[in-house]
């Protein structure tokens, strides 16, 4: 009787979205009936809702011991492993789901995508081809096949496949139309047909702007934030930083920032190969602090609230609690927190960690902007400005203008790494960076590609480039698209001058 009561209460709290209480009652029921699959599945769902993925995995695995032929459960397990970044088990469990049931399209899509993210394009293509046997008319599978064919240097096959889809483009789902046009853009770019490529990248981004995720996001948030940061009382910020320095914590992360698509992933993987460096890869433990401060900037930044050791310590504790989910904090290694858009959070970084060093990833502004325009970003508030060339240019100018303002108002130690210099003189550039970080030279940094292969999963949009040998084709790619940038040269020139880049165009590029 008590078991049924707990199950009923657990279900009731779950429906009310009080997942902690639902979990408590389901745990009580599980003690009485440890093989009750419905109870275990509700427990797993509670853990998932609470983002306790490791316990969710443990419970799902218990269910699979009871119901070992459940392909859907293997697929859910695969999704959960993906959430914690265990790509090997993501692949293994998704492959098992597919083996148990080869008639589910989503299993092919997930498994192929997992192989893509570990840069095993041949295996991804094999899975897609298997899927096309089962679903020969599925447009999304054909688009994924074209992507993998392009990445395995089967460029003509990729383009022909996409052209064959053209008569049915209107029948594709909107999301698939986005992928289709991005792929056509890449194919035409590879063939040096800049106008056709630009047309399809433009079309892809136009479709994104019609979809619910974009329509529902606050597209003004990031620009409003930047404008408001320009109006801060920097005299008070400097007082807070000076006060914070009196109790500066022993662990001072290095914050690696820059505008997206500035070549930061390449440098991150180089740094990640150093034995004395732990990299937090685009997971944002600082986000909990910045959200709190942004909710009431008057309280935190324009008053005496942070002229208080206890209050600053509480903010640092929030940061370290998040950071510990990804790296060891106290093993003596240098922690590098890499998230490009933390470039707009320098003031908060310096309040928490007054002695923190900052790395700035740089690349020619036009190449950065073009690369963003060619990238199918997940839609969120930070990326909401990335789906139209003009808005990307404006977002870049505002962001880098804020960096310049920070440099003039706040005293901080920063080091800039230009992508073009890195790929031209990698060892020299990395040696100089090691001196800035006060770290000894480690030969492993030059073996970053092999180390990246060993680690597998890369949690950035650049996963397909960073494991390739250094290539220089993307450097100054914007020259081929110069006519689209010329109307914006006046807005971009100050930033090119600031970072040592030219807007002169080489017609032979």
**What CATH number has the domain bearing residue 341?**
3.40.50.300
The reply to whether 189 and 281 lie within a common domain is no
| Residue 280 C-alpha from the chain's centroid | 11
Kindly give the interhelix angle for 221-229 and 389-409, rounded to the nearest 10 degrees.
20
- Distance, in Å, from the CA atom of 264 to the CA atom of 419, rounded to the nearest integer, reads 8
Tell me which of 159, 187, 208 is where a domain ends: 208
Length of the chain: 509
Phi, then psi, of 255 in degrees rounded to 5: -105, 120
Q: Identify how many contiguous H helices and E strands the chain contains and give both numbers.
A: 28, 5
- Distance, in Å, from the CA atom of 57 to the CA atom of 47, rounded to the nearest integer, reads 9
What is the per-residue DSSP string for 55-113? Answer: HHHHHHHHHHHH-TT-HHHHHHHHHHHHHTT-HHHHHHHHHHHHHH-TT-HHHHHHHHH
Cα torsion angle, 111, 116, 119, 120, sign: positive
Q: What are the E-state strand segments in 250-325?
A: 254-258, 277-281
CATH number at residue 177: 1.25.40
Any domain includes 494: no
Cβ atoms 63, 70 nearer than 8 A: yes
Say which DSSP state 277 is in.
Answer: E
The reply to whether 181 and 316 lie within a common domain is no
Locate all alpha helices (DSSP H) within 118-254, ordered by sequence: 121-134, 139-151, 155-165, 174-190, 194-208, 212-216, 221-229, 234-245
The pLDDT assigned to 341 comes to: 95
Give the C-alpha distances (Å, rounded to integers) separating 469 from 182, 375, 423, 444: 24, 21, 10, 16
Strand partners, 357: 413
Any domain includes 42: no
Give the C-alpha distances (Å, rounded to integers) separating 433 from 204, 257, 339: 38, 15, 18
Number of domains in the chain: 2
| 3-state SS assignment for residue 338 | strand
Per-residue pLDDT tens listing for the chain (509 residues): 578 888 999 999 999 999 999 999 999 999 999 999 999 999 999 999 998 999 999 999 999 999 999 999 999 999 999 988 888 999 999 999 999 999 999 999 999 999 988 888 899 999 999 999 999 999 999 999 999 999 999 999 999 999 999 999 999 999 999 999 999 999 999 999 999 999 999 999 999 999 999 999 999 999 999 999 999 999 999 999 999 999 989 999 999 999 999 999 899 999 999 999 999 998 899 999 999 999 999 999 989 999 999 999 999 999 999 999 889 888 889 999 999 999 999 999 999 999 999 999 999 999 999 999 999 999 999 899 999 999 999 999 999 999 999 999 999 999 999 999 999 999 999 999 999 999 999 888 888 877 665 554 454 554 444 444 444 556 789 999 999 999 999 999 999 999 999 999 875 54
The reply to whether 291 and 187 lie within a common domain is no
The reply to whether 365 and 396 lie within a common domain is yes
Phi, then psi, of 244 in degrees rounded to 5: -60, -35
Any domain includes 84: no
The reply to whether 301 and 432 lie within a common domain is yes
Give the C-alpha distances (Å, rounded to integers) separating 173 from 182, 216, 375, 405: 14, 19, 19, 44
- Distance, in Å, from the CA atom of 498 to the CA atom of 490, rounded to the nearest integer, reads 13
Tell me which of 175, 208, 241 is where a domain ends: 208
Q: Tokens at residue 123, please?
A: 């295996």
The pLDDT assigned to 470 comes to: 47
The pLDDT assigned to 453 comes to: 53
Say which DSSP state 253 is in.
Answer: P
Any domain includes 89: no
The reply to whether 290 and 189 lie within a common domain is no
pTM, two decimals, is: 0.87
Any domain includes 393: yes
The reply to whether 299 and 427 lie within a common domain is yes
Cβ atoms 272, 451 nearer than 8 A: yes
Cβ atoms 83, 457 nearer than 8 A: no
Phi/psi region, residue 257 (left: phi>0; alpha: psi -120 to 50; beta: rest), is beta
Any domain includes 375: yes
The reply to whether 403 and 313 lie within a common domain is yes
Any domain includes 338: yes
The reply to whether 249 and 355 lie within a common domain is yes
Tell me which of 208, 237, 255 is where a domain ends: 208
The reply to whether 445 and 388 lie within a common domain is yes
First to last CA, the chain: 77
Cβ atoms 327, 278 nearer than 8 A: yes
What's the CA angle centered on 255, arms 495 and 349, to 5 degrees?
95
Q: What are the E-state strand segments in 259-381?
A: 277-281, 334-338, 357-362
Nearest to 469 by CA among 430, 423, 431: 423
Any domain includes 488: no
The pLDDT assigned to 493 comes to: 97
Quote the domain boundaries for residue 451: 221-471
The residues, any chain, with a CB within 8 Å of residue 418's CB and separated by 6 or more, are 362, 363, 499, 500
What is the per-residue DSSP string for 222-239? Answer: HHHHHHHHTTS-HHHHHH
The reply to whether 200 and 322 lie within a common domain is no
The reply to whether 343 and 446 lie within a common domain is yes
């Amino acid at each position: 009787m008590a078991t049924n009561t707990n199950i009923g209460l657990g279900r009731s709290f779950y429906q009310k979205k009080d997942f902690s209480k639902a979990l408590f009652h389901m745990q009580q029921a599980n003690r009485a009936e440890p093989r009750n699959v419905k109870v275990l599945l509700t427990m797993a769902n509670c853990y998932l809702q609470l983002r306790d993925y490791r316990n969710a995995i443990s419970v799902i695995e218990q269910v699979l011991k009871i119901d070992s032929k459940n392909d859907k459960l293997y697929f859910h397990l695969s999704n959960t492993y993906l959430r914690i970044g265990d790509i090997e088990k993501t692949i293994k469990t998704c492959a098992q789901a597919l083996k148990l049931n080869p008639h589910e399209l989503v299993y092919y899509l997930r498994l192929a995508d997992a192989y893509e993210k570990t840069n095993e394009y041949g295996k991804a293509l094999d899975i897609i081809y298997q899927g096309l046997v089962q679903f020969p008319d599925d447009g999304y599978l054909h688009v994924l096949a074209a992507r993998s064919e392009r990445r395995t240097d089967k460029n003509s096959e990729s383009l022909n496949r996409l052209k064959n889809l053209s008569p049915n483009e209107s029948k594709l789902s909107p999301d698939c139309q986005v992928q289709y046009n991005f792929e056509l853009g890449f194919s035409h770019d590879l063939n040096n047909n800049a106008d056709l490529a630009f047309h399809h990248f433009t079309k892809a981004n136009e479709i994104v702007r019609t979809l619910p995720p974009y329509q529902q996001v606050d597209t003004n948030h990031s620009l409003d934030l930047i404008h408001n940061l320009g109006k801060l009382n920097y005299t008070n910020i400097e007082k807070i930083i000076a006060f914070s320095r009196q109790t500066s914590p022993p662990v001072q992360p290095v914050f690696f920032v820059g505008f997206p698509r500035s070549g930061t992933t390449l440098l991150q993987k180089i740094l990640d190969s150093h034995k004395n460096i732990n990299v937090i890869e685009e997971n944002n433990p600082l986000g909990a602090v910045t959200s709190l401060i942004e909710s009431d900037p008057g309280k935190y930044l324009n008053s005496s609230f942070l002229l208080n050791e206890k209050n600053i310590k509480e903010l640092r504790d929030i940061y370290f609690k998040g950071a510990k989910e990804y790296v060891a904090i106290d093993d003596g290694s240098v922690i590098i927190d890499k998230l490009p858009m933390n470039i707009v959070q320098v003031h908060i970084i310096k309040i928490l960690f007054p002695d923190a060093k900052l790395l700035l990833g740089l690349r020619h502004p036009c190449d950065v902007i073009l690369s963003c325009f060619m990238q199918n970003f997940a839609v969120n508030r930070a990326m909401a400005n990335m789906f139209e060339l003009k808005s990307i240019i404006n977002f870049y100018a505002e962001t880098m203008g804020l960096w310049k303002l920070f440099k003039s108002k706040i005293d901080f130690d920063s080091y800039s790494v230009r992508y073009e210099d890195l790929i031209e003189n990698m060892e020299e550039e990395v040696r100089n960076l090691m001196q800035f970080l006060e770290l000894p030279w480690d030969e492993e940094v030059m073996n970053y590609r092999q180390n990246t292969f060993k680690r597998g999963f890369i949690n950035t949009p650049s996963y397909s480039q960073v494991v390739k040998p250094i290539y220089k084709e993307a450097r100054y790619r914007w020259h081929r698209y110069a006519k689209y940038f010329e109307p914006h040269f006046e807005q971009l020139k100050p930033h090119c001058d600031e970072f040592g880049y030219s807007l002169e165009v080489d017609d032979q590029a």
